[in-house]
Amino acid sequence: MAPSRSGWVRARAEQQAYFIAGATSAIGGALLAVPGGVLIQDDLGRTLGAVGVSGDTSDNDESAAVDGIEAADLVPRID
């Protein structure tokens, strides 16, 4: 598994709250910026969807999401 990006999400939300507020507004308020979500890609790098997990630490939530994506023979995207 690649390194966790949970810290990046947390830092971005804290340091640039205006970015999160703008993105949330642009999509009609349907954004909740918390770590634990992982994009799903195909073999060509196209985004197919996402998996979100909540209930433990952000790093553990992200790890569970990656494990589930990989168990389904899909490709998690972690930058």
What is the strand order of the sheet 47-52 is part of?
Answer: 47-52, 37-41, 75-77
Residue pair 35/6 in contact (Cβ under 8 Å)? The answer is yes
| pLDDT (0 to 100) of residue 72 | 92
Q: Note whether residue 39 is domain-resident.
A: yes
| pLDDT (0 to 100) of residue 79 | 66
In the chain, the amino acid numbered 2 is A
Q: Which domain holds residue 31?
A: 6-77
Instruction: Tell whether the model's pLDDT for residue 55 goes beyond 50.
Output: yes
Q: Note whether residue 1 is domain-resident.
A: no
Stretch 42-70: mean pLDDT? 88
> How far apart are the C-alpha atoms of 54 and 65, rounded to whole Å?
9
> How far apart are the C-alpha atoms of 10 and 37, rounded to whole Å?
12
What's the structural domain count of the chain?
1
CA atoms within 13 A on the CB side of 8: 8
pTM above 0.95, yes or no: no
- What size, in residues, is the chain? 79
pLDDT tens digits for 5-45? 666 667 777 888 888 788 888 888 776 666 678 889 888 88
Q: Note whether residue 73 is domain-resident.
A: yes
| pLDDT (0 to 100) of residue 78 | 72
Q: Provide the CA 35 distance to its chain's centre, in angstroms.
A: 6
